[in-house]
Chain A
């Protein structure tokens, strides 16, 4: 893998993004805003407080984490798949000095970048609404990139293995949605059967939510959560390359 050539792939995605973002970026605010309004205000009227924090402030850091997660997964499932299959962009790129490993690295870096970008934008908006207690939340920005890399890895693995684009429905219904609901964004996992917390421990989102929540309340994020993300990002790293090589090069 050659970093400069990987950057060329990243740059291609960035160029296309700068042309298209105007038509799509607003949509990315709608969903987090809806969750904050419906659950934060609606449910918050009944729940009031969790662990001494107003309900809407409780979920706000989690919404940063989930926005960041979905940015990377949409990009590296549907986005990657469309570039690979329908647009044949990968075929065009692979006829240049860029090789398959450079290409996969570029896609992963782009997914992680988008994750960080979207998480940061939501972070700014949520902070402007006064839902974040501490400026330390800024420290979460690089963590969004690392966790975004994990989501990009998992998504590229999915894109490399699905038989068709419809199969992503399983990926979202069976993996992403349960993770979104049971990673501690909307309620602490302590009161649920212990098995839920045990499963949640194995999901990246759970750790990202912990990190965002502690930074948001001005505490130093738990080092073990950050370590967890670094280790998992490294463990997963070989698979997107291996599986994409198998899918594309044959």
Chain B
């Protein structure tokens, strides 16, 4: 079953009022794959991610994760995935360690188990010395790493990463990439959105290039560069049309 698809989307459409954010997209993500969504701001990447992790339902079309319909089995799906959101949503009133313990409770992981897990995960993201620190005293890079650790507390088979390294300095970015590569090696399926072509080239087996709610192409970065010439950024600009700072028309 190693070829089984973790995510299948058919004619996935999402409207916000009169605005069509995602327009009848189809894609399949295989087990163990690292799949990237690239595209300008407002292209619909985050919306697709949020539908995958059952934050909101699609307006029409069908999305299945681990074979389960996102509108019918959200809790079953969410129990098996980890989410790293774009924004910092750590609990500011709790310490680093408590953030992990409280989060584990949502997955019904008792404290006896979660405290061991939390210690391991803090080591994994190199925050072992920060267990008792308040969130407000962490740097941006540390917060991102803690959010990554938090997303792993339920040992997820699928990790959904919405701009995992946006706003990080190069050192912190490389630290996050290292961790993601380790997870890839463990056959964890990764889905990420990014604005950094280097990130997509380094991590992604395949990328979907999105624009105005549609998927223009789904290919491996290597194949895209071969087909269109230049590096991934050149391909990206060519396919999405060169615009100023991602401002949609």
Q: Which residues of A contact B (CB under 8 A)?
A: 2, 4-5, 8, 11-12, 15-16, 19-20, 87-89, 91-99, 249-250
Contacts and interface: CB of A to CB of B under 8 A. Distances in A.
A97 B89 contact: no
A5 B108 CA distance: 8
B36 interface: no
A5 B75 contact: yes
B104 to A, nearest CB: 9
A20 B134 CA distance: 13
A8 B105 contact: yes
Contacts of B87: 88, 91
Contact of A96 (B90, B94, B103): B103
Contacts of A2: 75
B36 to A, nearest CB: 20
Contact of A89 (B16, B89, B98): B89
Nearest to A17: B93
Contact of A99 (B75, B83, B108): B75
A97 to B, nearest CB: 4
Nearest to A87: B92
Contacts of A8: 105-106, 108
Interface in B53-78: 53-57, 74-76, 78
Query: Would you call the interface of chain B mostly helix, strand, loop, or mixed?
Result: loop
Contacts of B187: none
A19 B85 contact: no
Nearest to A86: B92
B105 A99 contact: no
Given A2-B75, A16-B94, A87 B89 contact: yes
B16 A250 contact: yes
A96 B107 contact: yes
Contact of B89 (A4, A20, A91, A250): A91
19 contacts: A4-B108, A8-B105, A11-B105, A12-B102, A15-B94, A15-B98, A16-B94, A87-B91, A87-B92, A88-B85, A89-B89, A92-B90, A95-B53, A95-B78, A97-B75, A97-B76, A97-B79, A98-B75, A249-B57
Contact of B91 (A4, A16, A97, A99): A16
A97 B93 contact: no
Interface string B95-129: 00010001101111000000000000000000000
A174 B85 CA distance: 38
A96 B74 CA distance: 9
B109 to A, nearest CB: 10
Nearest to B15: A250
Contacts of A99: 54, 74-75
A89 B108 CA distance: 18
Contacts of B108: 4, 8, 97
Given A88-B89, A249-B55, A93 B94 contact: no
A92 B85 contact: yes
A178 B225 CA distance: 69
Nearest to B83: A95
A91 B16 CA distance: 18
Nearest to B16: A250
A89 B75 contact: no
B105 A97 contact: no
Contacts of B57: 249
A2 B54 CA distance: 16
Contacts of A11: 102, 105
Contacts of B98: 15
Given A4-B108, A88-B89, A89-B89, A250 B79 contact: no
In the complex, the 5 A-B pairs of residues with the closest C-beta atoms, listed nearest first: A88-B89, A96-B106, A95-B83, A97-B75, A92-B89
A91 B98 CA distance: 18
Contacts of B91: 12, 16, 87, 89, 92
Given A91-B89, A95-B78, 15 more contacts: A2-B75, A5-B75, A5-B106, A16-B94, A87-B91, A87-B92, A88-B89, A92-B89, A92-B91, A94-B55, A95-B83, A96-B154, A97-B76, A97-B106, A99-B75
Contacts of A91: 55, 85, 87, 89
A114 to B, nearest CB: 15
A8, A93, A249, A250, most chain B CB atoms within 10 A: A250
Contacts of B107: 96-97
Contact of A98 (B76, B92, B106, B154): B106
Contacts of B16: 250
Given A249-B55, A249-B57, A93 B106 contact: yes
